[in-house]
Amino acid sequence: MKEEWKWGSDNDYWVRTCAWSAPGCHPVSCGLYLHVVDNKLVGVEGDPEHPVSQGRLCVRCLTLPEYLNHPQRITHPLVRVGERGENKWAPIEWEEAFDMVAQKATEIQAKYGMDTVAVIQGTGREAALYAPPTGFAVFRSATNLMGLSGQACYGPRCAVAEFVFGTGYPELDFAAYYPDRYDHPGYEIPKYVISWGKMPLTSNPDGFFGHSLIDLMKRGTKIICVDPRITWLGAHADIVLQLRPGTDAALALAMLDVIISEDLYDHEFVENWCYGFEQFAERCHEYPPSRASEITWVPEELIIEAARKFATSKPSSILWGLTFDAISTGGQAGHAVLAMLAICGYVDVPGGVTVGQPSTFLGKWRVDTRSNLQPGQFENRLGAKQFPAFAAAQWVCQPDVVLESIENDDPQIIRMLYLQSSNIISASNNVQPQRWYKALQKMEFTVVTDLFMTPSAVALGDLFLPIATFPEHDGVALPHFGRNPHFIGAMNKAIDNPGVHSDIEMCINIGKRTNPEAWDYKDAADFFDKQIRASYDFGFDDLRRMGVYQAEYNYRKYASGLLRGDGKPGFNTPSGRVELFSLMYTMWGEDPLPYYDEPHYSPVRNPDLAEEYPLILTTGGRKYTSFHSEHRMIATLREIDPWAKITIHPADAEKYGIQDGDWVTIENWLGKCQMKCWVTPSILEGVVHCEHGWWYPEQEGAEPNLYGVWKSNINMLLPHFCTNKLGFGSIHKCMMCKIYKAQGLDG
């Protein structure tokens, strides 16, 4: 990449940067050229020299000027002047706002205890990176969480990877570590990729650039798609395994049964690097394809064909998605899928999955900031005693426990809330938002950091701190938050907007008031320079010129001692091997082998409920036009997707008297909401998919309407605390409901 990162005249110039957040996106860090005229963003182009995105952008990036320059955007701190819910605010200065946050936190912690100040983060990349330090190092509180049941996004996958592999996130090897990408002499194109519960083209998930899958397909990679819906990727796949939602573990175990029974596994890797294979094989044999077919609705012959092709086509890989976080047995399914990669010999090899250390660079720093806590504070945080495995793998509190502690007025109840980029009552993975709405009214003081006024800000907020978009601040983009970063990218400030601050700027400013020893930085650029120099032989200005930095990647790290702290060959697990039989699970009272358990609510487990609620409800599918509850006010994107949508099979539509384009009420015993209907054979009969994160910024914001947040809120139908034994997982992918024709958005 060229060293020049800014060019043009004083009033008309271009800036090269890496996208992250805000606005929300997954941590791919696509390369951009930003065109600025008179300090206003007027255009966006893809950076063709960016090694991963290579000039390609999604529609959300292309509408970035519309987002930044939107008239409804908040660009000045606001303090509430009416009652909560009235949506009445007055502007204040930043210094006054920072003083107010520090003063309130100090008063509340002095009265109730350090952990009574909580940070609830949203899914923005910046928020996810800096939420732990906000809690640990700004407020010196151990009460950090995401507010989503069972930590049902990314965290469960990271946890099972640590338990089974002892590594960071296992990611499909898409040659992202190499400037010359697929032409690198040490890289090999995967023969098959299983896209399992993932929509990579629309979501660009976690750290994977979705269009890379198209690159691989053009080079010969074939796709096996596991999804109850036939997506674009499924329509172009070699095999589609259209399973009943929530039955992923049974499918994975059946594929493993085929691989083991037909002796298709990698004997060398199993003998040298796996633990507990004999017991594991016995468990897999309990799930022959015939049994799994009955459970999953996938034809037996397709299960067998997929298993054979995956195991005999070396190398192959798996993209594992949100499904493994958003079902109660996702941990067991994840265990099985990682085991499949292992016994086939696809771990840390070219064209298989890459693995990193559990956390590096800024990802490690964010968790290490817990050193600001008092002894025992972190170990005794909410949920740690009930769910020790969760506490061992996650820096957050178990969110289901936190909600119940507030509702029950427990002694550890939080009193002040820092709501960091979280529209919690219209968010992605929280469930029963009406309970969170009621519980969080108990807060004595709530700070909201966001870009637009949201239902959560109106309903819960006392102080609103506007966040800078990524073109408005310096930063470092870190794919996978350091758990498997194929590069680090420079976020270069292109626009001066003194009315907003980035997350790290807020940390520094508030932290200097509450815990100055931890925040000895002049500004954000100084912070990033020191963080980079602590891990690399260059600084932030050097990274600006580089654009992105790609470290050399070493395959088969387990053989050379690069995965263990002691430098010995093997994996960083108790046995030193991939644990097909998990010794850590036995310590926590969990079955050490993967297994299938019927979802908490399904027609099979609950035939009595199925009489009234016969349909399987699944949610969480991604879209090009929004990121969870963001982008609802962007006119171009709303023109493409104006309403929340339910997807229904034609047979179900006919059965319930519904036609394409009708308004439909989705209902169960927890609640109901309305969406527009899309009738298509691409979804399984008996299953409906409902979009999430919907609210309507064009509607009245004050109570009781709150921008229409309750009208299309599918999470109101999802129950709380449907986790596995370890405290992970939820019910987003497999709930029960009924549908009937509605008159409109209001029912």
- Radius of gyration of the chain, Cα coordinates, nearest whole angstrom: 25
Question: What pLDDT was estimated at residue 429?
Answer: 67
Specify the fold of 78-151+359-549.
Rossmann fold (3.40.50)
Residue 286 has pLDDT above 80, yes or no: yes
Q: Among 24-38, 319-333, 418-432, which range has the highest average pLDDT?
A: 319-333
**Cα 333 to Cα 541: distance, rounded to the nearest angstrom:** 44
Task: Decide the pairing of beta strands 445-450 and 416-420.
Answer: parallel
Tell me which H or E stretch contains 392: helix 388-393
pLDDT over 90 (residue 205)? no
What is the strand order of the sheet 192-196 is part of? 239-241, 222-226, 192-196, 317-320
Residues 14-53: tens digit of each pLDDT: 999 999 888 878 778 899 999 999 999 999 999 999 999 9
What whole-number distance in Å separates Cα of residue 210 and Cα of residue 28?
9
- Specify the pairing of strand 222-226 against strand 192-196: parallel
Q: How many C-beta atoms lie closer than 10 Å to residue 12's C-beta?
A: 11
Cα–Cα distance, 392 to 399 (Å, whole number): 15
**Residue 104 confidence (pLDDT) above 70:** yes
**What does the pLDDT average to over 520-529?**
93
φ, ψ of residue 734 in degrees (nearest 5): -155, 80
Residue 20 is predicted with a pLDDT of 85
Q: Is residue 416's pLDDT more than 70? A: yes
Q: Is there a contact between 561 and 348 (Cβ–Cβ < 8 Å)?
A: no
Residues linked to residue 739 through DSSP beta bridges, in sequence order: 666
pLDDT (average), residues 423-445: 91
Q: What percent of the chain has pLDDT over 70?
A: 99
Q: What mean pLDDT is reported for the chain? A: 95
Q: Quick check: 650 pLDDT over 80?
A: yes
Stretch(es) of the chain classified as CATH 2.40.40.20: 607-741
CA distance 177 to 190: 15
- Enumerate the CATH 3.40.50.740 domain ranges in the chain, comma separated: 78-151+359-549
Instruction: Yes or no: say if 247 and 239 are a contact pair by the CB < 8 Å rule.
Output: no
Average pLDDT, integer, range 58-69 = 95
416 sits in which H/E element: strand 416-420
Asked if 237 and 223 touch (Cβ cutoff 8 Å), the reply is: yes
Give, in order, the Cα–Cα distances in Å from 2 to each of 9, 154, 207, 544, 547: 18, 34, 24, 10, 8
Cβ-contact 594, 252 below 8 angstroms:
yes
Euclidean distance between the first and the last CA atom of the chain, given in angstroms as a whole number: 54
- At position 35, the amino acid (one-letter code) is H
DSSP states of 72-99: TB--S-EEE-S-TTS--EEE--HHHHHH
| Segment 248-282, tens digit of pLDDT | 999 999 999 999 999 999 999 999 999 999 999 99
Q: What is the mean pLDDT of residues 156-166?
A: 96
Instruction: Round to whole Å and give the CA distance between 520 and 502.
Output: 17
pTM as predicted: 0.96
Q: Looking at the predicted structure, is the pLDDT value of residue 129 above 90?
A: no
CA distance 495 to 472: 5
The closest of 625, 672, 618 to 648, measured between CA atoms, is 618
pLDDT tens for 459-497 read 999 999 999 999 999 999 988 888 888 999 999 999 999
Q: Tell me which of 145-149, 375-379, 522-526 is least confident.
A: 145-149
Yes or no: say if 6 and 17 are a contact pair by the CB < 8 Å rule: no
Phi, psi values for residue 43, rounded to 5°: -165, 155
CA distance 496 to 490: 17
Q: Indicate the pLDDT class of residue 358, thresholds 50, 70 and 90.
A: low
Whether residue 146 has pLDDT greater than 90: no
Burial grade of 522 (CB within 10 A; 0-12, 13-18, 19 or more): exposed
Give the burial class of 422: count Cβ atoms within 10 A of its Cβ; 0-12 exposed, 13-18 middle, 19 or more buried. Answer: buried
Decide if pLDDT at 125 tops 90.
no
Confidence of residue 560 (pLDDT cuts 50, 70, 90): very high
Phi, psi (deg, nearest 5) at residue 133: -65, -30
Hey, which residues does 319 pair with through a beta bridge? 195
Q: Name 475's bridge partners.
A: 491
SS3 (DSSP) at 454: coil
Q: What pLDDT shows up at residue 353? A: 98
Backbone φ and ψ of 277, nearest 5°: -65, -40
Question: What pLDDT does residue 428 have?
Answer: 66
The answer on pLDDT for 569 being more than 80 is: yes
Of the candidates 353, 390, 151, 344, the residue with the CA atom closest to the CA atom of residue 252: 344
User: Which residue in the block uniquely carries the two structure tokens 């010129």?
Assistant: 545
Task: Say if residue 706's pLDDT is above 90.
Answer: yes
Outline which parts of the chain fall under CATH 3.40.228.10. 170-354+569-587
With a cut of 80, say whether residue 123 has pLDDT above it: no
CATH number of 607-741: 2.40.40.20
CATH of domain 170-354+569-587: 3.40.228.10
Burial of 738 (0-12, 13-18, 19+ CB in 10 A): middle
